[in-house]
């Protein structure tokens, strides 16, 4: 069975990836913009936060700078798409590979250790909580604040304009919405959230590493789709909650897989399990609707 520490560890990582899933929700769902920049903006956030913390910055300010760096990366992708007419997927791949070099430049080396530095977590360890519970508490707060802010943003006039841009760009333009600006803002916001996730992950893991962005997009998508399979995302708030739930469920599934000696599963099977879970999550709702559709047709 899962130990306490493994359970809290899964929730902690799930909360961080919940922020990634928020970002992917904005790009993939709200804007319909398949954005792979996140594989680069996650370590970018980690790198910026790590270097500033080492330079003696307050860890929260460093984390804020990581958000801005992520937003800049997202803006680059969106500008390549909007202003230079490069296909969105390709634009994001270009930014992603460019960020690999940028991240190495920022850190000056591939791995920056934070093990002995003061991080956003340090003051919280004075609370009368177990060592493994502290990050969960802090990250729950961060995720809640982000969720409320995002929800309110999506209901604001700008947020509605952004959603209209993703739903039907031509109609949105006809309504006088500057769709290009909305795409730039949305993709920047999305990558800002991913930068935040990267910054928090580096601080809880004790190091920023240039390779830590590998597969972030796949895990984020898996969380998003998994969450949508659990909670029908018919309103913004439900969609955002689904992101967090999906990310935590995904991490719990991995924690159980790591403990599933009795099933003969090992960690090297995780990539396959991920692929199967994502496929099921995509296919199952479709099967449900097609069965429902068949019944309604029979009735008619």
Partner 1 sequence: MARNTLRTLIGATLLAAAGLAQADEQKTVAITQIVEHPALDAVYQGVRDELAEEGYKDGENLRIMHESAQGNAAIASQIARKFVGESPDVIVAIATPSAQTMAAAARNTPVIFSAVTDPVGAKLVQSLEKPGANITGVTDMLPIERHIDLLERLVPDAKTIGTVYNPGEANAVALVELLEERLEARGLTLAKAAATKTSEVLGAARSLVGKADAIYLTTDNTVISAAEAVVSVGERAKIPVFAADTATVSRGAVAALGFDYYDHGRQTGGMVVKVLNGANPGEMPVESVDTLNLFVNPEAAERMGITLSEDVLNDAQEIVKSGQ
* Residues forming the site for partner 1 (CB under 8 A): 1-10, 13, 17, 100, 104, 109-111, 113-116, 131-132, 201, 204-207, 209-212, 214-215, 219, 251, 254-255, 258-259, 266-268, 270-271
Q: Is 19 left (phi over 0), alpha (psi -120 to 50) or beta?
A: alpha
| 249 neighbors 230 (Cβ within 8 angstroms) | yes
> Smallest gap, in angstroms, from Cβ of residue 23 to partner 1?
15
Specify the residue, 4 or 90, whose C-beta has the smaller distance to partner 1.
Answer: 4
> Smallest gap, in angstroms, from Cβ of residue 258 to partner 1?
5
> Smallest gap, in angstroms, from Cβ of residue 219 to partner 1?
7
Phi, psi of 209 (to 5 degrees): -130, 140
Structure-derived torsion over alpha carbons of residues 236, 237, 239, 241, reported in degrees to the nearest 10: 160
Specify the residue, 17 or 33, whose C-beta has the smaller distance to partner 1.
Answer: 17
Contacts 24+ apart (CB under 8 A), 142-149: 142/15, 142/19, 142/196, 142/200, 143/15, 143/18, 143/19, 143/244, 146/19, 146/22, 146/193, 146/196, 147/22, 147/240, 147/241, 147/244
Specify the residue, 104 or 137, whose C-beta has the smaller distance to partner 1.
Answer: 104
Specify the residue, 104 or 160, whose C-beta has the smaller distance to partner 1.
Answer: 104
Helix, strand or coil, per DSSP, at residue 128:
coil
Q: What is the DSSP string of 264-294?
A: T--GGGHHHHHHHHHHHHHHHHHHHHHHHHH
> Smallest gap, in angstroms, from Cβ of residue 203 to partner 1?
9
> Smallest gap, in angstroms, from Cβ of residue 264 to partner 1?
14
Phi, psi of 208 (to 5 degrees): -105, 130
Specify the residue, 210 or 240, whose C-beta has the smaller distance to partner 1.
Answer: 210
> Smallest gap, in angstroms, from Cβ of residue 198 to partner 1?
10
Specify the residue, 90 or 206, whose C-beta has the smaller distance to partner 1.
Answer: 206
Contacts 24+ apart (CB under 8 A), 279-285: 280/229, 281/222, 281/225, 281/226, 281/228, 281/229, 282/225, 284/229, 285/228, 285/229
> Smallest gap, in angstroms, from Cβ of residue 111 to partner 1?
4
> Smallest gap, in angstroms, from Cβ of residue 4 to partner 1?
5
Q: Which residues contact 73 (CB under 8 A, 6 or more apart)?
A: 37, 40, 41, 44, 95, 99, 191, 195
Specify the residue, 21 or 183, whose C-beta has the smaller distance to partner 1.
Answer: 21
Specify the residue, 113 or 144, whose C-beta has the smaller distance to partner 1.
Answer: 113
């Amino acid at each position: 069975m899962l130990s306490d520490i493994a359970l809290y560890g899964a929730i902690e990582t799930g909360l961080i990836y919940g922020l990634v899933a928020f970002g992917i929700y904005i790009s993939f769902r709200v804007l319909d913009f398949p954005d792979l920049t996140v594989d680069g903006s996650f370590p970018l956030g980690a790198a910026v936060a790590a270097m500033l913390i080492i330079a003696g910055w307050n860890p929260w300010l460093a984390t804020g700078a990581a958000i801005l760096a992520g937003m800049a990366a997202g803006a680059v992708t969106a500008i390549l798409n909007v202003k230079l007419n490069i296909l969105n997927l390709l634009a994001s791949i270009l930014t992603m590979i460019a960020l690999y070099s940028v991240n190495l430049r920022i850190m000056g080396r591939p791995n920056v250790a934070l093990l002995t530095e003061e991080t956003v977590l340090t003051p919280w360890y004075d609370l009368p909580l177990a060592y493994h519970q502290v990050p969960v508490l802090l990250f729950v707060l961060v995720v809640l604040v982000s969720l409320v802010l995002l929800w309110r943003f999506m209901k604001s006039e700008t947020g509605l304009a952004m959603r209209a841009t993703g739903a039907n760009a031509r109609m949105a333009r006809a309504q006088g919405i500057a769709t290009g600006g909305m795409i730039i803002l949305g993709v920047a916001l999305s990558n800002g959230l991913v930068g935040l996730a990267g910054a928090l992950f580096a601080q809880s893991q004790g190091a920023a590493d240039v390779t830590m962005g590998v597969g972030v997009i796949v895990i984020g998508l898996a969380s998003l789709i998994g969450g949508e399979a659990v909670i029908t995302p018919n309103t913004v708030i439900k969609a955002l909650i689904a992101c967090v739930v999906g990310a935590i469920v995904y991490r719990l599934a991995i924690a159980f897989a790591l403990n599933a000696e009795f099933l003969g599963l090992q960690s090297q099977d995780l990539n396959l399990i991920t692929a199967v879970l994502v496929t099921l999550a995509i296919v199952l709702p479709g099967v449900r609707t097609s069965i429902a559709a068949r019944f309604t047709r029979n009735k008619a």
